[in-house]
Chains A and B, each alone.
Chain A
């Protein structure tokens, strides 16, 4: 276990005042264990609807672990205890249909992972598996989700091309399009731009800012400029603890905890 020079019990978590139904998601005493190793230590966090929340922190601080727990992607990989409230339900309990959870809480990964299918099929595949048969509806869904992901203009003439022929940035936007085609409530993104060039990155950032009108977005990023540019709230992770959570502008201008201050000013040790 790494010893921290900071006092991990000293935290500043903004309590969101909204009623539960105005919140998109809320965790309560969330703990995650990889075998015997604990990666998340009983965290409570609430996410406001139609806002972008950034999760920042050093590598290995538990951001991905936390994010993946939110839509049960850690099932079978880690043991997750505590509660996750979504629409008034604890979705971290036994009798929950995880497939339905994931349809409504979508996820985009660090490395683009389109299917080895055509661009069109990448988007329609899950829809068709879900029982949507109508050709026109499918076509409309392809168009609108590609437009939402700011990819439509680049690919509209070659929808039958293999997705693997796209550039990395385009592939990642296709993955975003594929996820929002399912019309989720919440979009989880795990460092979606870290493998991409600056131009693709800024395109994805623009896309996300557009998307928050329709979706609640939770994004892991190690890029602090990115967090400050696009997010409304920011949570700072350190060694599996959430140290500080606040409006993004407070975190970056006036952090209350020493660890946060050190991290955002770059003299983190």
Chain B
């Protein structure tokens, strides 16, 4: 019998290689999905316990202004109001985004529209280095530079929302910048050329054509930056003062979801109300990160529909 004909009709080692290749790659991806699911499962099941086991009212938890897990009120419930931390987290996040956006967009515009190739490369490296600096180092600089500066010029302890926002500003700046650069680069060249050919100045072209075409990309970049700021723990915790009370202003000591978590988990006993309450804060963080993801998707979809 024809040996080649025989081979063609039977399996070979390639058949086996492809089988185990499939098994290996599918297993790896399944493992990652299982990790993501178990993170949600574990954090959610712990975070819900505050409401299901300790019977804390969800609305009181989200809107309460006093956070004293160790103190119980007349009805025997611990004082668990997470609003101070929620306000703190959103406060530093929005302020940081507010500070960072003009810098990020300006730098990105400089890189894509004005700079020479050499300057662009240089700024690219600057941005990459800023991304690479570890958050504890940002925290340390915040502690040794920003906090004393604010104490000196604005009074108070120097710890607070403003210090946190300044540190986060530098941390999210490179994130927003590099994503903005990508979205500016994606604007078709002929948009720009057409505008310039019609006699518009460079700035008019940037303002009316380029920024407009890149709007959804820039928004996405800002949301990504906010997600990073919202989830950042140590750098903020080092400069915000860690006082779980409603912030009285930008200069008074406050706290965020992440700062209370990092300080608290080690000092509470598993299974107690105070510990469960912390897991509820972790759950809020987790859900917020989902919300940021969803917003990014919505912006992306809208951007695609418009173009």
Q: List A residues at the B interface (Cβ < 8 Å).
A: 86-89, 91, 95-97, 99-101, 104, 185
Contacts and interface: CB of A to CB of B under 8 A. Distances in A.
B52 to A, nearest CB: 49
A97 B7 contact: yes
B2 interface: yes
Contacts of A100: 4, 7-8, 12
Contact of A104 (B4, B11, B14, B15): B4
Contacts, number: 33
B153 interface: no
Contacts of B306: none
A89 B9 contact: yes
Main secondary structure of the interface of B (DSSP, over half): helix
B5 interface: yes
A132 to B, nearest CB: 13
A95 B5 contact: no
Residue of B5, B8, B12, B14 most packed against chain A (CB within 10 A)? B8
B2 A95 contact: no
A95 to B, nearest CB: 7
B73 to A, nearest CB: 66
Closest CB pairs A-B (n = 7): A99-B14, A100-B7, A100-B8, A87-B5, A97-B8, A97-B12, A87-B2
Residue of A86, A96, A100 most packed against chain B (CB within 10 A)? A100
Interface string B6-27: 0111111011000000000000
A86 B15 CA distance: 20
B15 A97 contact: yes
Contacts of B15: 97, 99
B9 A96 contact: yes
A104 B12 CA distance: 14
A104 B9 CA distance: 13
Nearest to A91: B8
A87 B4 CA distance: 8
